[in-house]
């Protein structure tokens, strides 16, 4: 008689991440006589992770708060912990599984699906994810959001979609890695009397290719977005070279199509939907972080340098932004497409295996055209600085 052995691992870990920020022009340019703000916000997590050859589960409890926004003598009613992740993955075989529950979605470079880890609250989805992984990877995700279990009524929730399905394929061919994504996104539509018809769907489809060999890496992405009165495109090219063990350079160009403010009748504005948008287009988050989704689009030509010395790392970005479609001036004519230049600097230090500290400074050199689409004043000192401590202890692991 054979003996079946199950291997299992349980881990209890945490995260403590306070970040202090000085803001005078972050996300939007400062106005005349606007004072800088200074605040500290913190993310605290407790992670319960269980893994075996039959089942995997994860529960992440999360508390996000700004220092001082909750009274010191807190009551149970004031306690604001939420569930960031709560999922179980059942292994039907070594290559096929079903992962169901609240979970993060992270694919490729985070442009369409990302966990938005920079934001303290981060992003997670309620869905069922079918995974086949052998010589290649094939993931199929299905989500359907509802407010009540009593009746199938219109969806009035805060999330962006009522129904969503996606397919992601990934395979490597030697030094070349290929991903293909298809996303069907359905958003609830409300009529004037607050009733609803069927969700309005849009489709995003396209490939991503990455070539890596020795010290060189080259990547390219193209997505086409279509739907009712929607036709938009996205492409991204980046090349990087590691000059030494300490120093590397990257250069890239990213284009997101936009809708003209002068003669735009069709929606040509590409929407990156559920990506980690803070990772792209400058750390000051002027574009696609809670704004700019249905606008004139963006062209971003950038250069990145990274230097490592022992436990320290130094990263610098220069972004040159321009509008992808016409911006209408006060005279009704198209303005100069140049939006400005952003400079980002980040210094990090690994303290030990559980703790690290990082700080950054960003400066926006904006134009009159940026004023027109984002408000504020280009003549003001638009900058942003931050310092963040991250501690991730493992309390228990068997």
- Which tens digits make up the pLDDT trace of 321-359? 999 999 999 999 999 999 999 999 999 999 999 999 999
Count of CB atoms within 10 A of residue 289's CB? Answer: 22
d(CA 326, CA 324): 7
* pLDDT category of residue 158 using cuts at 50, 70 and 90: low
Residue-level pLDDT at 147:
78
What is the arithmetic mean of pLDDT over 295-318?
A: 97
* pLDDT category of residue 195 using cuts at 50, 70 and 90: low
Residue 303: pLDDT above 60?
yes
Residue 155: pLDDT above 90?
no
What is the arithmetic mean of pLDDT over 260-285?
A: 95
pTM of the model: 0.93
Residue-level pLDDT at 72:
84
C-beta separation of 167 from 179 below 8 A? no
Residue-level pLDDT at 76:
63
Residue 1: pLDDT above 50?
no
Residue-level pLDDT at 246:
96
Which DSSP category does 178 fall into? E
Residue 29: pLDDT above 60?
yes
Residue 2: pLDDT above 60?
no
- Backbone φ and ψ of 201, nearest 5°: -105, 145
C-beta separation of 190 from 171 below 8 A? no
* pLDDT category of residue 194 using cuts at 50, 70 and 90: low
Residue-level pLDDT at 74:
75
Distance spanning both ends of the chain, measured CA to CA:
29
Choose from 72-81, 142-151, 305-314 the range with maximum mean pLDDT: 305-314
């Amino acid at each position: 008689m054979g003996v079946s052995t199950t291997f299992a691992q349980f881990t209890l870990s945490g995260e403590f991440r306070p970040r202090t920020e000085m803001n005078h022009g972050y996300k939007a340019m400062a106005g005349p006589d606007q004072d800088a703000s200074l605040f500290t916000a913190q993310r605290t997590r407790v992670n319960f992770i269980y893994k075996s050859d039959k089942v995997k589960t994860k529960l992440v409890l999360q508390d996000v708060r700004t220092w001082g926004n909750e009274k010191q003598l807190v009551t149970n009613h004031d306690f604001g912990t939420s569930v960031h992740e709560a999922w179980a993955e059942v292994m039907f075989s070594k290559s096929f599984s079903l992962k169901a529950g609240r979970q993060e979605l992270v694919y490729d470079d985070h442009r369409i699906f990302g966990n938005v880890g920079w934001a303290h609250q981060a992003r997670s989805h309620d869905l069922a994810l079918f995974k086949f992984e052998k010589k290649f990877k094939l993931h199929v995700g299905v989500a359907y959001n509802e407010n009540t279990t009593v009746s199938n009524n219109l969806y009035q929730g805060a999330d962006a979609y009522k129904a969503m399905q996606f397919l992601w394929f990934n395979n490597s061919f030697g030094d070349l890695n290929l991903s293909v994504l298809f996303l069907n996104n359905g958003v609830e539509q409300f009529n004037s009397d607050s009733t609803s018809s069927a969700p309005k769907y849009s489709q995003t489809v396209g490939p991503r290719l990455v070539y890596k060999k020795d010290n060189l890496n080259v990547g390219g992405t193209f997505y086409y977005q279509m739907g009712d009165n929607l036709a938009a495109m996205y492409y991204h090219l980046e090349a990087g070279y590691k000059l030494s063990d300490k120093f590397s350079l990257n250069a890239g160009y990213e284009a997101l199509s936009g809708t003209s403010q002068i003669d735009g009748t069709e929606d040509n504005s590409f929407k990156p939907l559920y990506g980690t948008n803070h990772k792209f287009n400058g750390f000051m988050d002027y574009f696609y972080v809670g704004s700019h989704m249905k606008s004139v689009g963006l062209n971003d030509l950038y250069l990145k340098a990274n230097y490592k010395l022992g436990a320290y790392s130094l990263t610098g970005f220069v972004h040159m932004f321009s509008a992808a479609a016409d911006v209408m001036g006060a005279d009704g004519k198209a303005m100069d497409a140049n939006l400005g230049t952003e400079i980002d600097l980040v210094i990090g230090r690994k303290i030990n295996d559980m703790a690290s500290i990082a700080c950054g400074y960003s400066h926006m050199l904006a134009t009159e055209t940026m004023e027109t689409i984002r408000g504020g004043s280009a003549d003001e000192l638009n900058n942003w600085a931050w310092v963040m401590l991250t501690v991730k202890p493992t309390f228990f692991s068997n």
